[in-house]
């Protein structure tokens, strides 16, 4: 069964600290993997997209990594800000069905 699992489920860090969120998937074949940020009560907003051949991609303070062999991705947030408080969702597009498969997200709270 195609699945996307994220860890940790929730995370609390102090402003200015770094953190890393994990995503493991079993989707095969794999088309691409995207990290979304979702503020409470809002729609998800794309942060990065990675294809099979890409290992690392950065978007400001966000850096995503992908290991297609082990089917793992991570999202590293540097020098966290209060506005980073949100749910971060890992989404994998199936290469077979073209459908998006969502993880349950990691809820990040950044405290002053």
Smallest separation, CB 36 to another protein (Å):
8
Quote the DSSP letter at residue 112.
Answer: -
43 binds another protein (CB under 8 A): yes
Token pair for 4: 């996307």
**Residue from 24, 49, 62, 71 in contact with another protein (CB under 8 A):** 49
Smallest separation, CB 79 to another protein (Å):
25
**Residue from 1, 14, 29, 41 in contact with another protein (CB under 8 A):** 41
**Residue from 51, 55, 78, 104 in contact with another protein (CB under 8 A):** 104
Rounded Cα–Cα distance for residues 81 and 78 (Å): 9
Rounded Cα–Cα distance for residues 28 and 47 (Å): 23
13 binds another protein (CB under 8 A): no
Closest Cα to residue 30, out of 49, 12, 44, 51? 51
89 binds another protein (CB under 8 A): yes
Token pair for 53: 């051949």
**Residue from 19, 30, 44, 92 in contact with another protein (CB under 8 A):** 44
Helix (H, G, I), strand (E, B), or coil: what is residue 83? helix
62 binds another protein (CB under 8 A): no
Given the complex with another protein, which of 77 and 92 has the nearer CB atom? 92
CA angle 49, 30, 90 (to 5 degrees): 45
């Amino acid at each position: 069964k195609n699945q996307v699992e994220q860890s940790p489920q929730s995370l609390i860090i102090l402003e200015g600290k770094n953190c890393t969120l994990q995503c493991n998937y079993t989707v095969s074949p794999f088309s691409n993997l995207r990290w979304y940020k979702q503020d409470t009560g809002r729609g998800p907003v794309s942060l990065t997209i990675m294809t099979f051949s890409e290992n690392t991609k950065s978007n400001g303070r966000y850096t995503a990594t992908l290991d297609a062999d082990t089917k793992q991705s991570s999202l590293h947030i540097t020098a966290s800000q209060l506005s980073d408080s949100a749910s971060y969702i890992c989404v994998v597009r199936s290469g077979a069905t073209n459908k998006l498969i969502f993880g349950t997200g990691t809820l990040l709270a950044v405290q002053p």
